[in-house]
Amino acid sequence: MSWPLWLLGHADTAITRMDAAIQRADAISHPHSQAYACYYASILHALRGELLVAQGHAERCLTLSEEHGFRHWRGLAHAAIASSAAALSSFRSTHDRWGYVSLAVDSFATRGIKDACTQPTPALMLARQGDALGALSYLSNLPFVDPQRIAIMGASQAASSRSK
């Protein structure tokens, strides 16, 4: 149900429904339902441009699939992981071709967060803004970077964490 909601322009409702599906699957500890929900969550987040979140869901789907022999979900999870990695690589390659320095900041993995949509808190948002400011400081001090020409970009939640 989350994909049609997203396609109809109800992005927030789509995420809410997807999160609820994952929570229900986790509550009953049913590995097939968990893999199913994680795969569909990975695609939804990829559609929203949240490639790292998408990859996290796909990796969980893959882990569940390998543990329980779900060949179908295993293959789909591999495809979702490859797609997310290819998209991130494409962004980096394009920036490199244009002569830009790229720095990807992952505010979730370092904090052990696998699903940003079910754990949003004001403290996390502030921490992510701090991560963006730290990245800005780091880039500003590199000898080959012009500190007057630094841009920060993000999609979905990452865009809301940008520095003003």
pLDDT (tens digit per residue) in 135-155:
888 888 989 888 887 777 655
| Range in 7-11, 31-35, 64-68, 154-158 with the lowest mean pLDDT | 154-158
* Its pTM surpasses 0.95: no
Tell me the average pLDDT of the chain.
80
Q: CB–CB of 62/74 below 8 Å?
A: yes
Please compute the mean of the pLDDT values over residues 26-55 and round it to a whole number. 88
DSSP annotation of 161: T
The band of 163, judged by pLDDT with boundaries at 50, 70 and 90, is: very low
SS3 per-residue string spanning the chain = CHHHHHHCCCHHHHHHHHHHHHHHHHHCCCHHHHHHHHHHHHHHHHHCCCHHHHHHHHHHHHHHHHHHCCHHHHHHHHHHHHHHHHHHHHHHHHHHHCCCCCCCCCCCHHHCCCCCCCCCCHHHHHHHHHHHHHHHHHHHCCCCCCHHHCCCCCCCHHHHCCCC
The mean per-residue pLDDT over the stretch 103-115 comes to: 69
Summarised one tens digit per residue, pLDDT across range 11-24 is 888 889 999 999 99
Span 93-111, average pLDDT: 74
